[in-house]
Chain A
Amino acid sequence: MTATETTLAQGLSRRGFLQRSASGFTAAIAITSTGALLNPSEAWALDVKGLKPETMKTLILVARDIYPHDKVPDRFYAIAMKGYDDKAAGNPEMKAQIEGFVAALDGAAGEGGYVGRPWEADRVAILKNQSADPMFETIRSGLVVSLYNQKEIWPIFGYEGESFSKGGYIERGFDDISWL
């Protein structure tokens, strides 16, 4: 069995859970020897250059816990948070702020850190306690744009986006409601 197949098998075996647990998240995103994040089941990898890979992994889970959408795969949260790695790479002060924020989350979470806490409700309680930290609001307010502004997630929500090139909705269901 290759590593990918193993992770896939673990992914399949998780299907019985009603709520996704952090141990599942921990398994789903691996950290490679070169310091990249690898999510074989979603078939994506993310090079981490400015932050510790563990920090980037935690930020992805933090993003999901702030704006949890069960139908949205991890990769969109990863894309939404990738900017912090880029910023940290060129900005030691920024890097220290982010690492400090994640260290505080890990400290509050205890052994195993933030990603080691299995239940969303517990992690959200930790986030709530840290929400006075300006870094939390920076992350949340950035995420509300960087997550929902990804066109690829719009179909998950039933939003069709740009319509001018298709002639608008005049012939495409602007008045098609049938249940009233």
Chain B
Amino acid sequence: MAAKFDQNDDSVVVIVGSGAGGGTLGNELAQKGVKVVVLEAGKRLDYSDFINDEWPSFTQLAWTDMRTTSGSWRVHKNFPNLPAWIVKTVGGTTTHWAGASLRFQEHEFKETSTYGHIPGANLLDWPITLADLEPYYAKAEDKMRVTRTGDRPGLPGSNNFKVFKAGADKLGYKECHTGRMAINSVPGDGRVACHQTGFCFQGCKWGAKWSTLYTEIPKGEATGNMEVRPESHVAQVEHDASGKVTGVTYFDADGKLQRQKARIVAIAGNSLESPRLLLNSASSKYPDGLANSSGQVGRNYMRHTTGSVYAIFEQPVHMYRGTTMAGIMRDEARNDPSRGFVGGYELETLSLGLPFMAAFLDPGAWGREFTSALDGYSNMAGMWIVGEDMPQETNRITLSDQKDKWGLPVADVHFDDHPNDIAMRNHAFGQGKAMYEAVGATRTFPTPPYPSTHNLGTNRMSASARDGVVNGHGQTHDIKNLFVSDGSQFTTGGAENPTLTIVTLAIRQADYIADQMKSNTI
């Protein structure tokens, strides 16, 4: 049964957030006998609660607490208070994600040597390599039941995939399939196989898609070593005179400030909230925020170079039938500077329902040019671009002058595209358009990036304490018993959807934390 720990129990590990990083770390530690309290800002739902309807689901799941934006990115203009489309519930954004689970490529861990000097980019090599992560990637793929890994078959191809694949074939692309997806292609782990329902972004009502909500979290609770406290919004991480962290304060469901003591604190609130928490925890000892001696907390915010290409055909496609992300084309993921940019990108099919297509196809647009596109909805196919964006020191999370309902400064998200990002996006738009035109598209649309779902890099890993916030295990350079366990650890973003790597790092981090606790190093 789920544990219930005393708030003064200073032997527990407190984890802030229950998504891919926090939920996984919690279960992994609980399995090893470590006592864990997971504090989650959102409510706890059951997957039967999810809604197959885009706006009501958005209201149910999305993190809509105030955030502010600045910079030249179009999200700032169209969605000034919604920089990110991520989730506030138990399970975090693993309820919302599409399921794409791709390993990073070897060179993506050592980019200063691979890409050389890129003006304006704050590139840095990761302190770990692909070889370090490979055994953990395999564990993560098994845990998440990723298709096309182990002995798990791929998912069947939907209409949207078939159009995409035919276009890829026409252009001579070689690596195009229905993806490595953390979606059951066959029943397993007590969960059913995918029913091609669509609405993956709205939470899988079958539980066929991996989410910590109904995998890691109940498994961790079943050990008796893990307690999840929903509606617990962490306000500050506290420390003692020696600088070690001692616990956290949080606002409970009734808005009352509570305190949970801890032996170790691990922050996994995503790349917006995690640096916000460290900055909001500033003290006389740490006036620039916790773990910020490098000045890098909040900096190097990455969101992937994204965009979409939608196309209309003479005949029906019904792209919304089946998984939201139904196929992946990887040929452009390589690093090939002859294309005019470093790094690479994936093309992945995507579909939106009519309500979200109207909101996101060309935000702010109106009139017949726009509505005639929606009139072609049933004949539409779509894909999403996921490419590496350059880390830039000036792309960053800072504390806004606006405050949330508890009086805590909210995150301001500043972002400008790097010239490399723009060159990559334009290349990808061109290739996506060519794929669809090769199979008869009569009209194609470049769709600008949506509010970010891949939020990365704001507490980055580095070998040296001068260059980043955490070491290769996600342990902060400055404070031994303070960890970061989400995508904000990423030194660089890679071309791949980040969740698999977040889970992989969390499994590896759990080994490290348990060892350090056992040896009394922490």
Contacts and interface: CB of A to CB of B under 8 A. Distances in A.
A and B found bound together: yes
Nearest to B158: A174
Contact of A158 (B162, B196, B359, B378): B378
A67 B371 contact: yes
A170 interface: yes
Interface string A137-180: 10011001101110100100111111111011110111111011
A68 interface: yes
Interface in B305-325: 313-318, 320-322
B383 to A, nearest CB: 16
B285 to A, nearest CB: 45
A144 B196 CA distance: 27
B195 interface: yes
B354 A148 contact: yes
A2 B205 CA distance: 52
A80 B80 CA distance: 24
Given A169-B196, A180-B439, A175 B370 contact: no
A175 B368 contact: no
A67 B318 contact: no
Contacts of B205: 164
Interface string A93-104: 000000000000
Given A169-B196, A174-B321, A154 B375 contact: no
Given A154-B354, A157-B374, A174-B321, A164 B197 contact: yes
A14 to B, nearest CB: 20
B321 A172 contact: yes
Given A69-B371, A174-B158, A177-B163, A159 B320 contact: yes
Given A69-B371, A177-B317, A161 B53 contact: yes
Contacts of A165: 52
B199 interface: yes
Contacts of A157: 354, 374-375, 377-378
A66 interface: yes
Interface in B326-380: 353-355, 357-359, 364, 366-368, 370-371, 374-375, 377-379
B157 interface: yes
A66 B369 CA distance: 11
Interface string A106-140: 00000000000000000010000000000001001
Given A173-B321, A175-B158, A159 B358 contact: no
B451 interface: no
Contacts of A174: 156, 158-159, 196, 321-322
B166 interface: yes
Contacts of A68: 367-368, 371
Contact of A177 (B156, B162, B206): B162
A137 to B, nearest CB: 8
B201 to A, nearest CB: 14
Contacts of B379: 158
Contacts of B377: 157-159
Contact of B197 (A147, A149, A163, A176): A163
SS of A interface (majority): loop
Contacts, number: 122
Contacts of B494: none
Contacts of A168: 194-198, 206
B370 A180 contact: no
Place the interface of chain B in its size category. Answer: 35 or more
B55 interface: yes
Contacts of A160: 318, 320-321
A164 to B, nearest CB: 5
A141 B367 CA distance: 13
A149 B54 CA distance: 9
A145 B359 contact: yes
A170 B317 CA distance: 15
A163 B159 contact: no
A140 B366 contact: yes
A170 B196 contact: yes
Interface in A62-91: 66-69, 71
Contacts of A151: 53
A159 B166 CA distance: 23
A18 B227 CA distance: 66
Interface in B197-216: 197-199, 205-206
Contacts of A66: 366-367
A141 B198 CA distance: 26
Contact of A167 (B157, B195, B314, B322): B195
Interface string B373-392: 01101110000000000000
A71 B370 CA distance: 15
A168 B366 CA distance: 33
A158 B194 CA distance: 23
A144 B374 CA distance: 12
A22 to B, nearest CB: 16
B55 A145 contact: yes
Contacts of B157: 175
B369 to A, nearest CB: 11
Contacts of A159: 320, 353-354, 377-378
For B197, B317, B353, B379, the residue with the greatest tally of chain A CB atoms inside 10 Å of its CB is B197
A144 B359 contact: yes
Given A68-B367, A174-B322, A163 B198 contact: yes
A160 to B, nearest CB: 7
Given A140-B366, A177-B162, A169 B198 contact: yes
Interface of B: 52-55, 156-159, 162-163, 166, 194-199, 205-206, 313-318, 320-322, 353-355, 357-359, 364, 366-368, 370-371, 374-375, 377-379, 439
- 10 A-B pairs closest in CB distance: A158-B378, A168-B195, A168-B197, A174-B322, A162-B52, A148-B358, A169-B321, A159-B354, A174-B196, A174-B321
12 contacts: A148-B359, A149-B355, A158-B316, A159-B320, A160-B318, A162-B52, A165-B52, A168-B206, A170-B194, A174-B156, A174-B196, A177-B317
Given A145-B55, A161-B52, A173-B159, 4 more contacts: A158-B318, A164-B199, A169-B322, A174-B321
